[in-house]
Amino acid sequence: MKGKILISTGGSGGHVIPATTIYDHLKDVYDILISSDVRGLNYLDNKFYDILIIDTPKLNNFVLLPLSILKVFFLTLKSLLIFKKEKIQILISTGGYMSLPLCLAARILNIRIYLLEPNMVIGRANKFFLKFCKKIICYSENIIGFPKEFRSKLNIINPLIRKKYYDKKLKEYENEKFTLIIIGGSQGAKIFDKILHESIIEVSKIKPLKVIHQTNQKNVDALKNLYSKNMIDNIVFNFDQSLDSLINQSDLCITRAGASSLAEISLLKKPFIAIPLPSSKDNHQLENANYYKNKGCCWIVEQINFDKKKFKDLLSNIMINKDEILVKKNNLEKLNYQNTWNNVNQDLLNLINEN
């Protein structure tokens, strides 16, 4: 009889994608349920997963705090019932406030808890539960804010990346035109939707290029028309299940700096310009990007100091000086040479099967 695991996730794709990747790694050995808040359901397909809804409220509104705490209390009771009914033996939490009731219930029932921290700054929920977890899965030993007394709980693995990205890893494209992909604009970020293209149009006058641009749905037609008007080959889209193929067709990525996105781009050996989300908690996106910059794999442009001319000059230099692109591609290859699906699979199974 297979053991039973519950994976707690929700919120953004940055939490849900690692959760579904863990599911794919462990599904042949364990029976697995996934819990999510309502927001996380946007990234989950109930045709493939057994999903439980634990819609944990944020605890950041002082006026609503008493009601939120009461809701967390009832969700903890609901979690206790779920653990008992489903006979859950292991909880894997991908972090965030969404995990709070489940981690509390697992602690009460003395169920093994494994935490996942994909970012270079430890999240507040993960930090809170470090004392009670068996291990915390990270991608680096140098996690900012990680308490020294819990370093023995660190378990370092290669980044959790969806299997389809490994299938694209060996495919190389030779583009007639320099191909730039911009991802991260589907959520309506102004800098991605209304600013970057101005510099890109200027650069296209120096050297022909092709642009693949992810943007907000309401902005798709306007951007497509703008690129076409300026004689730039383009693919403009809001959401695409084949993002891995589009990234793989590019020479350079411009992206936010979520841990999962950077890991996927990195595996495909695509040098990138990271524009970290300035409002990310504890500035973790900047630290995620710094991890790759320090290994010679990317460039960083901080949104708060964004300058159109400087960005145009950076793009021009990258396109003209192909040696710099090649150096970064080689550094990305070195960084990922041991990152295979089988290696990560074995690391996860070894960890979960530990007594």
User: What integer pLDDT is reported at residue 187 of this predicted model?
Assistant: 57
115's enclosing H/E stretch is strand 112-117
Q: Is the pLDDT of residue 161 over 70?
A: yes
Confidence of residue 195 (pLDDT cuts 50, 70, 90): confident
Please name each of the domains of the chain with its CATH number: 4-161+339-352 (3.40.50.2000), 165-335 (3.40.50.2000)
Other Cβ atoms closer than 10 A to 36: 27
Calculate helix-pair angle for 259-267, 13-26, nearest 10 degrees: 60
- The pLDDT tens digits for 275-309 are 999 888 889 999 999 999 999 999 999 998 888 89
Q: What is the rounded average pLDDT of the residues 4-8?
A: 97
User: What integer pLDDT is reported at residue 239 of this predicted model?
Assistant: 79
Q: Is the pLDDT of residue 254 over 70?
A: yes
* Contact between residue 122 and residue 33 where contact means Cβ atoms under 8 Å apart: no
- The pLDDT tens digits for 73-102 are 999 999 999 999 999 999 999 998 999 999
Q: Is the pLDDT of residue 191 over 90?
A: no
Q: What is the DSSP string of 145-156?
A: T--GGGGGGEEE
User: What integer pLDDT is reported at residue 194 of this predicted model?
Assistant: 73
* Contact between residue 180 and residue 197 where contact means Cβ atoms under 8 Å apart: no
Which of 159-173, 183-197, 237-251 reaches the highest mean pLDDT?
Answer: 237-251
Question: Who has greater pLDDT, 37 or 195?
Answer: 37
Question: Who has greater pLDDT, 189 or 96?
Answer: 96
Q: What is the rounded average pLDDT of the residues 224-238?
A: 94
Give me the helices (H) in 205-336, please.
220-229, 243-248, 259-267, 284-293, 308-320, 322-335
Q: Is the pLDDT of residue 221 over 90?
A: yes
CA separation (Å) from 75 to 7, 16, 92? 16, 20, 17
User: What integer pLDDT is reported at residue 189 of this predicted model?
Assistant: 67
214's enclosing H/E stretch is strand 209-214
Task: Take residue 27 and report the two structure tokens written for it.
Answer: 């599904």
* Contact between residue 269 and residue 333 where contact means Cβ atoms under 8 Å apart: yes
Q: Is the pLDDT of residue 171 over 90?
A: no
Mean model confidence pLDDT for the chain:
92
Question: What are φ and ψ of residue 136, in 5° steps?
Answer: -120, 125
- The pLDDT tens digits for 42-78 are 889 888 898 999 999 988 878 888 899 999 999 999 9
Length of the chain: 355
User: What integer pLDDT is reported at residue 174 of this predicted model?
Assistant: 76
pTM above 0.95, yes or no: no
- The pLDDT tens digits for 12-51 are 888 999 999 999 999 999 999 999 999 999 889 888 898 9
Q: Report the candidate in 54, 115, 114, 52 with the shortest Cα–Cα distance to residue 89.
A: 114
What CA–CA distance (Å, rounded) separates 23 from 337? 23
What CA–CA distance (Å, rounded) separates 280 from 283? 5
